[in-house]
Amino acid sequence: MITIGDSLKSEAVNEYLELYDINVIYRFDRLYEGEEDSYTVNNEVLGLELKIDKNQKLIVIWIKMVNSISAKNFVQWDNFSSMVDVEKWAEAQKYDIIYGDNWIRADGEMVSYHYAFDANGLLMVTLMSKDIAP
């Protein structure tokens, strides 16, 4: 499984990249705006996007197709049906909780779990290193 904190060169990330023949895109601060260099990996077929920092550590996983069974072979997340379900889970884990109009974020010790909802239910999940969570 790919998890926050994994190295770009980890076995799990490399297996994923090779299986789907995915390119890693290097982004650098071309305009000298103080942005740190990073890498992105986007798989539109599975609805997964990864952001890797300048030290080649995975810091964000965007899960854009929450019902993708294939994506679950690489990334683990819970599919909650409502913000109330996320809240109950987060409270049981003793995570800090932040609320928005249509989203809820649970901050664990190392990872922040951001769940966005629309009228049809769970829309997107973002897993991010707690160090970079806004």
Query: Measured between alpha carbons, how far is residue 66 from residues 24, 98, 123, 126 in Å?
Result: 22, 21, 7, 10
Q: How many residues does the chain have?
A: 134
Q: What is the pLDDT of residue 30?
A: 83
E-strand ranges in the chain read 25-27, 38-43, 48-52, 58-63, 96-99, 103-107, 111-118, 121-129
Is 90 exceeded by the pLDDT of residue 134? no
For 43-76, the pLDDT digits (tens) are: 999 999 999 999 999 999 999 999 998 899 999 9
Q: What is the pLDDT of residue 33?
A: 86
The tokens describing 66, both together, are 């929450």
| Mean pLDDT of the region 118-132 | 95
